[in-house]
A and B are shown apart, each in its own frame.
Chain A
């Protein structure tokens, strides 16, 4: 069967591999050569099908004579040499270790909440019990809800500036007389409790509550 000399261009044309000049030549040719156009249509259908449904062929690609393990090795080798491969392994391990170390901590992290307009802390809140409303006399103690064992609380009392600050393992603190003496009726005070874990890390913060010591 006589073969048209342009037939060899069909694949190149369909796969966009021809030079612009050859492409034009071949296009002009198939407008004139019914045999080539017929072959072009058939080949286009086959190539389109392969492009759109490679799975028909792919399932068998694994059955290439070379065993799978060897093929994988070869594929890998195409990307890395042995040293690069080893380095990649080491880096992946370090990366994995960092992830393992960091992820539980991140999960343990608690949501942000705002202390003041400028201060935001991540942690759980502490519920303040007393005093939370205006008092008719200077309170003799401050109390809040207990968070758990081995927690150290830091309480701070302020008016315009820090008045007193102390730490305790209890969920209650009695106001010393010298501090009590500084607090006068008619003034507005605020207090706040921060909780620290055994390692000294901040785990919870209360909101800053204000109360007024009334004159009567």
Chain B
């Protein structure tokens, strides 16, 4: 029992948990920053995860911040480095627009079809609100003016529509 330090075991468990918990979060952050269609996404995520594991194993993470913030910092730095590598001439590279994403993966496509089906089931008043607010990216006030209702009502419609969608899709 003594030949293996107990804290090492804990570190290994941490690493396993860390992978399960942070991979999707890092993936989301990376995709948002460099564009979901960017083929470097997966490599970048794996690289960030190995960096995180390496830093934790070497004792660099001392619990001064939360683990989430520690992972966030490593992720952000790596993304900045990546963008710098890709756009050396620009001091601050703009983040690519995430929409529209022409290369939906099969899984994303299935999910998207589910969302479309759920959207179609919504009453017109919800669809109108979602269209103006999310597609046209109008502010609540602008959408309210277009629909002839109060901004508060727009918020209610959008929030309720989201609730209905999530209920319909069971996500």
A47: chain B residues at CB < 8 Å are 99, 134
| C-alpha gap A42/B137 in the complex (Å) | 18
- Tell whether A46 pairs with B131 under 8 Å between CB atoms, given A31-B71, A51-B99: no
B119: chain A residues at CB < 8 Å are 49-50, 56-57
Interface residue B147 (Cβ < 8 Å from any Cβ of A): yes
Interface residue A45 (Cβ < 8 Å from any Cβ of B): yes
Interface residue B55 (Cβ < 8 Å from any Cβ of A): no
**Interface readout for A8-52 with B: 1 if CB under 8 Å, 0 if not?**
000100111100000010011011111001001111111111111
- Establish whether residues B28 and A44, one from each chain, have CB atoms under 8 Å apart when the complex forms: yes
- Establish whether residues B100 and A64, one from each chain, have CB atoms under 8 Å apart when the complex forms: no
Interface residue B5 (Cβ < 8 Å from any Cβ of A): no
- Establish whether residues A48 and B99, one from each chain, have CB atoms under 8 Å apart when the complex forms: yes
A48: chain B residues at CB < 8 Å are 98-101, 108, 112
Partner pick for A52 among B21, B76, B112, B120, CB 8 A cutoff: B112
- Establish whether residues B69 and A46, one from each chain, have CB atoms under 8 Å apart when the complex forms: no
A14: chain B residues at CB < 8 Å are 98
Partner pick for B130 among A15, A32, A33, A57, CB 8 A cutoff: A57
Interface residue B25 (Cβ < 8 Å from any Cβ of A): yes
Partner pick for A41 among B24, B97, B127, CB 8 A cutoff: B24
- Tell whether A27 pairs with B134 under 8 Å between CB atoms, given A42-B166, A48-B112: no
| Size of B's binding interface in residues, CB under 8 A | 43
B99: chain A residues at CB < 8 Å are 47-48, 51-52
Interface residue B72 (Cβ < 8 Å from any Cβ of A): yes
- Establish whether residues B29 and A57, one from each chain, have CB atoms under 8 Å apart when the complex forms: no
| C-alpha gap A33/B101 in the complex (Å) | 26
Q: How many A-B residue pairs have CB under 8 A?
A: 108
| C-alpha gap A28/B101 in the complex (Å) | 24
Interface residue A149 (Cβ < 8 Å from any Cβ of B): no
A58: chain B residues at CB < 8 Å are 131
Interface residue A65 (Cβ < 8 Å from any Cβ of B): yes
**Cβ-closest chain B residue relative to A66:** B148
Shortest C-beta distance, B145 to chain A (Å), equals 11
Interface residue B9 (Cβ < 8 Å from any Cβ of A): no
- Tell whether A46 pairs with B165 under 8 Å between CB atoms, given A37-B25, A61-B128: yes
B116: chain A residues at CB < 8 Å are 49, 53, 56
- Establish whether residues A52 and B100, one from each chain, have CB atoms under 8 Å apart when the complex forms: yes
| C-alpha gap A45/B114 in the complex (Å) | 10
Partner pick for B134 among A32, A41, A51, CB 8 A cutoff: A51
- Establish whether residues A57 and B131, one from each chain, have CB atoms under 8 Å apart when the complex forms: yes
**Interface readout for A57-79 with B: 1 if CB under 8 Å, 0 if not?**
11011011110000000000000
- Establish whether residues A28 and B72, one from each chain, have CB atoms under 8 Å apart when the complex forms: yes
B80-119 contacts to A (CB < 8 Å): 95, 97-101, 104, 108, 111-112, 115-116, 119
B98: chain A residues at CB < 8 Å are 14, 16, 48
- Establish whether residues A31 and B112, one from each chain, have CB atoms under 8 Å apart when the complex forms: no
- Establish whether residues A53 and B147, one from each chain, have CB atoms under 8 Å apart when the complex forms: no
Chain A residues at the B interface, C-beta cutoff of 8 Å: 11, 14-17, 24, 27-28, 30-34, 37, 40-54, 56-58, 60-61, 63-66
9 nearest interchain CB pairs?
A32-B68, A31-B72, A49-B115, A51-B99, A31-B68, A57-B131, A60-B124, A57-B127, A60-B127
Known: A45-B108, A54-B131. 6 other contacts (CB 8 A): A15-B137, A31-B68, A31-B72, A53-B116, A57-B119, A60-B131
